[in-house]
Amino acid sequence: MNLRPLGRSGLQVSPLCFGGNVFGWTADEATSFRLLDAWVDAGFNFVDTADVYSRWAPGHTGGESEAVIGRWLRQTGKRNRIVLATKVGKDMGDGKVGLRPEYIRQAVDASLTRLQTDHIDLYQSHDDDAAVPLADTLGAYSDLIKAGKVRAIGASNFTAARLAESLQTSESLGLARYESLQPLFNLYDRAVFEKELQPLCVEQGVGVINFYALAAGFLTGKYRTEADAAKSARGKNTTAKYLNERGLRILGALDTVAARIGATPGQVAVAWQIMQPGITAPIASATSLAQLQDLVKASQLTLDAEALATLGAASAE
């Protein structure tokens, strides 16, 4: 496995990151343990979660994913084999939201307890919080790094303007800087990242760990008609955005490339992202070992110029 540097953090990560939103939700604990074991055994080391996962599910309060990972770490002793990323800032209820220094200090201790570890490798602002001065938030993170609770920090869902302002604040005040960005980016969702965020991240050496790598499953080719989409709740949510002329054109290109190189559309879609400038490790989830093996194969694909041109033309806006 060829590891990649994550920004200027000193962290070395695999070219794919496992999205832990499924742990304790659509993947029960036993399945989650099998997936994590298989991920590490395949040579990957990067796992991303958040304190809020999976608060949206009936009966859940948040922290379920972190707790599953923590029990896996305790049972297997594999903490030194993974780069562990989590996030803070989404609404956890009871006023637990945002990036106020006092809340960050409270939230990181709660995450460390659930994860059953003494440090988080990458601690990320899940959302921007314009109500809190950047210097205050970055100062709190700097204190956590000095205390050994966090190794590096990252940002998620930031605009280019706010990320640039954050980086400038870190430099001018000598504070910890965001070493990674977690934006929406895939073959369909290209415009915002490529126009505004990608040039900034490349210039400033910020690693990119994009989410929705498979566009909620659409880029696997499983949703090609309204009838396909109606088969699952996730499919119904996908239809409105992706199941249109451009979306079908992208699927056609994925089919063409996949057939020519002996891969699946989903594998090709992920391989394309891994090869894009500035991308460190797309985030993708799996709820079965078969899906995980698809991700393993995707990381091993190298697309030639013809494939890249076909995909680029089909997905252009």
Q: Which residues are the active-site residues?
A: 53
Give the number of other CB atoms < 10 A from CB of residue 220: 19
- Residue 101 sits at φ, ψ, to 5 deg, of -50, -45
Q: Which DSSP category does 155 fall into?
A: E
Give the number of other CB atoms < 10 A from CB of residue 109: 12
Residue 24 burial by Cβ neighbours in a 10 Å radius (0-12, 13-18, 19+): buried
Q: Which amino acid is it at 214?
A: L
Give the ranges where the chain is alpha helix by DSSP (H). 29-41, 64-76, 101-115, 134-146, 160-173, 191-192, 198-204, 226-229, 233-242, 245-261, 265-274, 289-299, 305-315
Give CA torsion, residues 268, 272, 274, 279, to 10 deg.
-150
- Residue from 208, 222, 229 nearest 291 by CA: 222
Question: Token digits for 177?
Answer: 């800087």
- Cα three-residue angle 112-117-123, rounded to 5 degrees: 50
Radius of gyration for the alpha carbons in the chain, expressed in angstroms and rounded: 19
Beta bridge pairs of residue 13 = 4
